[in-house]
Structure 1
Amino acid sequence: MKKIITDSAANLNVTTLNGIEYQSVGLTLVCGDKVFLDGADFDQAEFDKFIENSSTEIKSSCPSVESYLAAIGDADEVYIFTISSALSGSYNTAQTAKKMILEEDPNRKIHVFDTKAAGPAERMAAVKASELLNEGVDFSEVVAQVQAYIDHLKIFFSLQSLTNLANNGRINKTVAKLAGVLKINVLGWANEEGKIEQLGKARGAKRAYQSLVDILVKHNLNSKKVVIDHANNEKGALALKDLIQAKYPDCQIEIGICTALCSFYAEKGGLMVGCTVNDG
């Protein structure tokens, strides 16, 4: 049996991808002794109410080895996609699970991809694998082609707040505080190492979205497909879609919703853009 697995940073709650069995492995949000699992049963309203009445900083935690082992189950051909290893331990725990299974049964085929991204870009990589499997491509060639795809796959973002990223050590707290005081939108991407890097800033949503399009152009956007995930900001996602299509009329653009982990880090109003670029 063939199976595709991602961690929950892919913003994907389905049971199949183009007919291929699929499962999401949840990251968690932790506040003191309270743990919220990012999955289909995550209650955003309950979480929002809880953090509103809590003064404790919230941290994120990667999936356990056991959760990856359970997701792999008895599948004999498995493709696992994780959030950037520079941002989470999810990749390392998935690799540990793979090693444990192959030590018992070396004939099984398992590959773990570090997407060096998150959200829509991570999801795009998983979808790419499902398309190749439907074409009948064998394991080693799927791995090679998907890795080549990931090498050009990027995540860009426009964020209205950097508080949660700063509190979890993903960016400098001084930068986050300054952005909040000045009420600016921060634009950036996950760089070649999969680390968050600021690429610009803008006051107001309209300028921010146009600046983000300019950044995509600068990085030689492959205009075939773009996926935009939003954190409670469908209006912004649609506005950005219109700007991209004005520049690239034939571009196929999909809009999705950030689930728990990505909503936490992108924060309200945040946009995450997955696409391939022709850099380098």
Structure 2
Amino acid sequence: MRMKYKIVGDSSCDITKQMEEDMNIAIAPLTFTLDGVEYVDDDNLDLENYLRKIDQSSNVPKSACPSIQDYLDHFEGDHEWVFGVTLSSELSGSYNSAMNAKTMYLEKYPEKKVHIFNSRGASTMEVLIALKVHELVEADEKSFEEIVDHVEAYIEEAKVLFVLDKIDTLEKNGRMSSMKAKIVRALNLKLILKATPEGEIDMVDKARGSKKALTKMVNSMPKVGTISKDKILAISHCNALERAEYVKELASELYDFKDIIILKMRGLSSTYSNEGGIIISF
């Protein structure tokens, strides 16, 4: 008999409302502060207005991870198993917050089982992890521990690539010097980047113009990770549906994935990708 379970992610997990309902997943929102104004990364966030404020400001939004109590509240319920999925521990305190909540929750409910997955990424990576957990639990063929081991192995080999249309946030937060940013803009260069297991950002390639960059990103996938008909390709975009659809179409022509899904970024992913950004995981 399948155990009752719950998946809890933070708001870097760019799932759709339909996924939330179908997968019994709850989202603990991060919050941002920009120029003295606080924004909560939930369904009430006016993303268009928030992105406009980022463009107009010389500052970078400061993010705060969900609190321990936020996670504890979401862990509650009549389920035996809880799976948490968080931003990379190198990028945010969300993982540590969830781990502290796990300790407190198990003190109250020692008969239950909880595991927190460090996504070692964000956005589409968290979505794929949540989908994998859901798939394995619903199959009702593995124990809690076997599911955890399987998903941790899945995280080890999954990859994240992205193309930024704007480099404003990279420049504002010091990840790119103003001089380099000027050159990138002057030459209309678009950067193809990847997330490392350590939470760093490495450049894979560059191209002039967004379409060429997206094409290079898709073409680079076999060099970066493993393509398999058992895998899902997740594509998330920041107000760039046409670009996401182009990536899906090209990937469909070149590779054999089990499924290719398109998602819309929430606030956290949009903060760092900026308008026009595309993130993929596979």
| Among candidates 214, 222, 225, match of residue 217 of structure 1 | 222
Greater fraction strand: 1
Q: Does 1:196 pair with 2:232?
A: no
Match of 1:42, SS state, is coil
Residue in 2 that maps onto 1:113: 117
Residues 26-41 of structure 1 mapped to structure 2, 5 A cutoff: 26-41=29-44
Please give the secondary structure, in 2, of the residue aligned with 1:106: coil
* Residues 158-167 or 115-124, more deviating: 158-167
Q: 1:81 aligns with which of 82, 85, 107?
A: 85
Residue 207 (structure 1) shift: 1.4
Q: CA deviation at 1:55?
A: 4.8
Shift of 1:90: 0.8
- Identify the residue that residue 72 of structure 2 maps to in structure 1: 69
SS of the aligned residue for 1:93 comes to helix
Match of 2:11 in 1: 8
**1:270 corresponds to which residue?**
277
In the TM superposition, residue 180 of structure 1 has moved relative to its aligned partner by 3.3
Deviation string, structure 1 residues 153-197 (Cα, Å, up to 9, x no partner): 11110111222244345x234454543343211111111223222
CA distance in 2, matches of 1:172, 1:32: 22
Distance in 2 between residues matched to 1:68 and 1:250, nearest whole Å: 33
Partner of 1:104: 108
263 and 107 in structure 1: CA distance in 2 versus 1, 3 angstrom threshold: same
Go from structure 1 to structure 2 and tell me whether the alpha carbon gap of 1:178 and 1:71 turns closer, same or farther (over 3 Å shift). Answer: farther
| SS of residue matched to 1:9 | coil
Tell me the residue number matched to 2:242: 235
**Aligned residue in 1 for 2:129:** 125
1:18-51 CA deviation, whole Å, 9 max, x = no partner?
Answer: 8442101111221133111111111123324544
Q: In structure 1, what residue type is equivalent to 2:278?
A: L
- Post-superposition offset of 1:58: 1.9
**Structure 2, unaligned stretches of length 5 or more?**
none
| TM-score of the two chains, using structure 2 as the length reference | 0.88
What corresponds to 2:97 in structure 1?
A: 93
Q: Which runs of 5+ in 1 are unaligned?
A: 276-280
> What SS does the aligned partner of 1:151 have?
helix
Task: Name the CA shift for 1:60/1:17 in 2 (closer, same or farther; >3 Å).
Answer: closer
Distance 1:101 1:121 in 2: 26
How many residues were matched structurally? 274
CA distance in 2, matches of 1:57, 1:250: 37
SS in structure 2 at match of 1:222: coil
Q: Deviations over 1:131-172 (max 9, x none)?
A: 111111321111111111111111110111222244345x23
TM-score (norm 1): 0.89
